[in-house]
């Protein structure tokens, strides 16, 4: 397999050695640029089928809103004890106001969120019955944000360059991540020795060249590399291909129940086995991975150490129905072998 044969055994790494990074989360600030989404949940139960069509009737008993997309990345970092600055776009509507107010109540500076007239705030509504996802419907515009909105985001990040070590690109292909904006951001980051962590969307893969680490899932990695991943050999070929294609320092392929695989320059590969006990909902798991990864890197962890911490965090969040966050006490409990 060439250089990519240098696999490492993470089983020999002591998880307790990662605790100092978690303790340093409170001293770090991570910047986030991306699509901020309002996640709307409608909860209920199904006891009958509609006489009008063969569909379930959901008797609604509650509903709630949570920050999703880049907003969920922000929530996870805050929950883990870190600080954030965030750039994105909201519509001049009720949901946009809710997003901005929710972030402000958490002490977040929202001047990097451009309010764009005529553009709806991205909103995903999920109907959940008996802990099962029944249907989802979206309200959104996927067109590129305006040049003025891009300038607001870019100017906000420029003003905070001295206070950040890591910047997350949370790309949901809802219009915030444009080629021009990302080129300017990556140029600034490289010039200021800031690590850029990307949670990617396949259609924008060529935008990310020069990012420090990109975190595709298996399907995204297969499509972006042109290699169908079905065993260890094809996985390693895809990882090597993506490293060369992206110019990144590392590629972290998230593989669901198979864990994660980290590919670094120089040929080092680290396969990280999954630690999930029971999976209820993968919604937001990618956000949790990129949040924990970025915060760990900002706290001084190496790529492999940060990836292992992200793997533990993902194992916790998939056990939660709905967009979930992880806190530092939960990760500490898993690392020390305790259960909370």
Tokens of 11: 């089983």
74 neighbors 103 (Cβ within 8 angstroms): yes
d(C-alpha 160, C-alpha 31), whole Å: 9
Is 287 noted as a catalytic residue in this protein?
Answer: yes
- Rounded to whole angstroms, what are the CA distances from 318 to 28, 119, 282? 25, 32, 5
Catalytic member of 39, 199, 281, 287: 287
The residue among 230, 254, 226 whose CA lies nearest residue 240 is 226
Cα–Cα distances (Å) from 317 to 33, 147, 187, 286, in that order, read 22, 36, 33, 10
- Cα–Cα distance, 38 to 121 (Å, whole number): 8
Long-range contacts of 106-110 (CB under 8 A, 24+ apart): 106/78, 108/74, 108/78, 108/84, 109/85, 110/86
Contacts of 215 (CB under 8 A, 6+ apart): 197, 198, 199, 200, 251, 252, 253, 254, 286, 289, 290, 293
Q: Which residues are catalytic?
A: 287
């Amino acid at each position: 397999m060439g250089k990519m044969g240098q696999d490492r055994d993470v089983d020999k790494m002591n998880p307790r050695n990662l605790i100092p990074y978690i303790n340093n989360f409170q001293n770090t600030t991570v910047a986030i640029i991306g699509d901020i989404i309002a996640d709307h949940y409608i909860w209920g139960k199904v006891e009958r089928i509609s006489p009008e069509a063969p569909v379930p009737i959901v008797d609604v008993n509650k509903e709630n809103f949570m920050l999703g997309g880049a907003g969920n990345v922000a929530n996870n970092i805050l929950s883990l004890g870190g600080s954030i600055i965030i750039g994105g776009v909201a519509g001049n509507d009720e949901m946009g106001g809710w997003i901005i107010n929710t972030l402000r109540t958490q002490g977040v500076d929202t001047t990097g969120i451009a309010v764009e007239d005529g553009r709806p705030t991205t909103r995903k509504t999920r109907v959940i019955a008996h802990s099962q996802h029944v249907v989802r419907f979206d309200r959104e515009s996927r067109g590129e944000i305006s040049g003025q909105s891009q300038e607001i985001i870019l100017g906000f990040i420029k003003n905070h360059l001295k206070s950040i070590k890591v910047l997350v690109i949370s790309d949901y292909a809802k219009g915030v991540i444009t080629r021009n904006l990302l080129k300017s951001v990556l140029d600034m980051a490289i010039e200021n020795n800031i690590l850029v962590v990307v949670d990617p969307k396949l259609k924008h893969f060529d935008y990310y060249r020069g990012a420090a680490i990109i975190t595709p899932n298996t399907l995204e990695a297969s499509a972006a590399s042109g290699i169908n991943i079905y065993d260890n050999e094809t996985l390693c070929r895809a990882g090597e291909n993506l490293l060369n294609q992206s110019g990144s320092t590392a590629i972290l392929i998230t593989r669901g129940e198979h864990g994660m695989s980290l590919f670094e320059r120089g040929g080092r590969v680290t396969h990280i086995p999954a630690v999930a006990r029971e999976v209820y909902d993968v919604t937001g798991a990618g956000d949790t991975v990129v949040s924990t990864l970025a915060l760990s890197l900002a706290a001084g962890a190496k790529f492999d150490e940060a990836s292992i911490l992200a793997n533990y965090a993902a194992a916790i969040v998939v056990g939660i129905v709905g967009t979930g966050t992880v806190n530092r006490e939960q990760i500490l409990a898993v690392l020390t072998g305790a259960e909370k």
